Amino acid sequence: MATLEELRNQLDEIDNRMAELYQMRMDVCQQVGEYKVKAGRKVYDRQREKDKLADVASKVQGEFNKKGIKELYSQVMSMSRKLQYQRLVEAGALGRLPFIQIHSLDKENARVVFQGTEGAYGQAAMNQFFGEDVNCFHVRTFRDAMEAIEEGSADFAVLPIENSSAGPVNEMYDLLDEFENYIVAETILPVVHTLSGLPGTRLSEIKRVYSKAEALMQTTRFLDDHSDWQRISVVNTAIAAKKVLEDQDKAQAAVCSTYAAKIHGLEVLVDEINDEADNSTRFIVVTNQKIFLKDASKISIEFELPHESGSLYNILSHFIYNDLNMTKIESRPVEGKQWEYRFFVDFDGNLEDAAVKNAIRGLREEARNLRILGNYSIDGQI
Ligand SMILES: C=C(O[C@@H]1C=C(C(=O)O)C=C[C@H]1O)C(=O)O
């Protein structure tokens, strides 16, 4: 029987040949890339890759090896495509991305829409980003806000996309897909809930607490200490505050922000009642133009994938091979296609970076319905 050393010597020899063949194969792929630049051909040829996998599998023995060589060749061809995308980008074949670079947002002359009513967290986020004197109006639903942007009755909308303890706002992801609107900035608002009531209300007088369902959930620990209080959910926290003011009944209180309490003339009875001290909501600033700030550092995209083994893994490799740092991924069901998903990915970068152009080129060819949703920074700061 051969010794381990002898066997390893054999493996070294095989690997030397494989490395040499890999180099040779990649050199040919480079030439294929150059041909495709000239001929204006797409890099990815799905049928050719399918045939190739079947062909190499037919040349080895046993199910285990057939599966193994297919996996190996999927990787080899994926490297080959990445090399070709690089050639295309170097040759300027990517063209310009249809986004216009700007140097600043015209916050002073902007007309801005938020969802909810006076005192909503959306309004606080809007004021944080655009300032207190912003020219604004509010609408009832997120969809109404997206429509106002799309039809141009507002220049920007400020809308919540994620809460640090409750997670993503699913509806916003679906609306980003549905509307031709784009993210130009984001702003993070600390969300601090209070228990507020009519001035002079004593806790012992309270019987009913109103708020948005999420806010009632985020203050469960505090509310559990007052288990005799009935919890009633309403559309949003600002509406809860408004109701408490209008009803003029000290048996009622609202879970809302200090801001909503102030706007609706309520007194903060207990401050900071959130279960989690660091509760923040991330808001996006949306517009109907394809613009990005010069030094924007984060990109959001969406794409769809077929219900096939390895499809997400293959797509995400475009981030890895271009050294891009992916910061978030969300998925939402594709309507009318059971078990197929639309993915929303955030990653660090600017649309002018070569690595970003490379990755987008690959993603555009290999995923369905790729859309760039925006290139932006926190608070739009540069
Ligand atoms: C090399 C080519 O480009 C891509 C890579 C392939 C490969 O490495 O074998 C096959 C098909 C294409 O998706 C080609 O078109 O032949």
207 and 120 inside one domain: no
Closest CA to 347 of 328, 333, 364, 332: 328
Q: Is any ligand 1 atom within 6 A of the Cβ of residue 36?
A: no
Q: Ligand 1: does its nearest atom lie under 6 Å from the Cβ of 53?
A: no
How far is 324 from 28, CA to CA, in rounded Å?
27
Same domain, 41 and 66: yes
Does the pLDDT of residue 380 top 60, yes or no? Answer: no
Would you tell me the crossing angle of helices 311-321 and 354-366 to the nearest 10 degrees? 160
| Choice among 30-44, 277-291, 368-382 with the minimum mean pLDDT | 368-382
Within this chain, do residues 187 and 201 fall inside the same structural domain, yes or no? Answer: no
Per-residue pLDDT tens for 77-88? 989 998 998 888
Q: What pLDDT was estimated at residue 209?
A: 98
Residue 375 belongs to a domain: no
For the chain, the straight-line distance linking the first and the last C-alpha, in angstroms and rounded, comes to 67
pLDDT band at 374, cuts 50/70/90?
very high
- The residues near 303 (Cβ < 8 Å, ≥ 6 apart) are 315, 342, 343, 345, 363, 367, 368, 369, 370, 371
| CATH assignment of the domain containing 76 | 1.20.59.10
285 and 152 in a common domain: yes
Is there a single domain that holds both residue 187 and residue 202? no
Residue 200, sorted as left (phi over 0), alpha (psi -120 to 50) or beta, turns out to be: left
Predicted confidence (pLDDT) at residue 281 exceeds the cutoff of 70: yes
Q: In whole angstroms, give the CA distance from residue 256 to residue 238.
A: 7
Mean pLDDT, rounded, for 25-38: 95
For the chain, what is the domain count? Answer: 3
For residues 76 and 182, membership in a common domain is answered with: no
Distance (Å, rounded) from C-alpha 135 to C-alpha 133? 7
C-beta of 348 in contact with ligand 1 (< 6 A):
no
Instruction: Kindly state the average pLDDT of the residues 234-252.
Output: 94
Task: For 352-366, give the DSSP string.
Answer: T-HHHHHHHHHHHHH
Residue 101: predicted pLDDT: 94
Looking at residue 49, what is its pLDDT?
93
110 located within any domain = yes
Is the beta carbon of 342 within 6 A of some atom in ligand 1? no
pLDDT of residue 382: 39
Ligand 1 centroid to residue 78 C-alpha, Å:
8
- Are 130 and 157 within one domain? yes
Kindly list the catalytic residues: 281, 283
Ligand 1 centroid–CA 89 distance in Å is: 17
Q: Using DSSP, state whether 106 is helix, strand or coil.
A: coil
Say yes or no: 3 and 89 in one domain: yes
Distance 304 CA to ligand 1 centre (A): 22
In a domain, 131, yes or no: yes
CB of residue 79 inside a 6 A radius of ligand 1: no
Q: What percentage of the chain reaches a pLDDT higher than 90? A: 78
Tell the residue nearest (CA) to atom 15 of ligand 1.
45
The Cα 373–Cα 174 span in angstroms is 12
Please, which pLDDT band fits residue 236 given cuts at 50, 70 and 90?
A: confident
pTM of the model: 0.82
Residue 361's pLDDT is: 87
Residue 236 has φ and ψ, to the nearest 5°, of -155, 170
CA distance 38 to 48: 20
Check pocket membership of 288 for ligand 1, CB cut-off 6 A: no
How confident is the model at residue 252, as a pLDDT?
Answer: 98
pLDDT band at 300 (very low <50, low <70, confident <90, very high): very high
Q: What is the pLDDT of residue 88?
A: 83
Alpha helices in the chain (DSSP H): 4-39, 46-58, 63-90, 121-130, 142-151, 170-178, 213-218, 220-224, 237-247, 258-263, 311-321, 354-366
* pLDDT value of residue 27: 97
CATH number, residue 119: 3.40.190.10
Question: Given the CA of residue 45, which atom of ligand 1 is nearest to it?
Answer: 13
Domain membership of residue 380 (yes or no) is no
pLDDT tens readout for residues 83-134: 998 888 888 776 667 899 999 999 999 999 999 888 899 999 999 999 999 9
Task: Say which range, 88-102, 151-165, 279-293, 295-309, has the weakest mean pLDDT.
Answer: 88-102
Kindly state whether residue 321 falls inside one of the protein's structural domains: no
**In terms of residue numbers, what domain contains 110?**
100-191+279-293
Last residue of a domain, one of 93, 128, 156: 93
Q: 112: helix, coil or strand?
A: strand
Residue 114 lies in a domain: yes
| 45 and 148 housed in the same domain | no
- Quick check: is 218 in a domain? yes
- Asked if residue 77 has its Cβ within 6 Å of ligand 1, the reply is yes
Residue 172 lies in a domain: yes
Q: How confident is the model at residue 166 (pLDDT cuts 50, 70, 90)?
A: confident
Q: According to the model, what pLDDT value does residue 381 have?
A: 46
Mean model confidence pLDDT for the chain: 93
Mean pLDDT, range 256-273, rounded to an integer: 95
Angle at which helices 4-39 and 63-90 cross, to 10°? 40
Q: In testing the pocket of ligand 1, which one of 25, 51, 79, 81 has its CB within 8 Å of the most ligand atoms? A: 81
pLDDT digits (tens, 9 = 90+) for 34-48: 999 899 888 889 899
The mean pLDDT of 206-229, rounded to a whole number, is: 95
Same-domain check for residues 243 and 127: no
Mean pLDDT of 185-209: 96
Candidates 24, 31, 35, 48: which one to mutate for ligand 1, based on the most atoms within 8 Å of Cβ? 48
| Same-domain status, 67 and 106 | no
> Both 118 and 186 in a single domain?
yes
Domain final position from 93, 116, 143: 93
Q: Is the pLDDT of residue 18 over 80?
A: yes
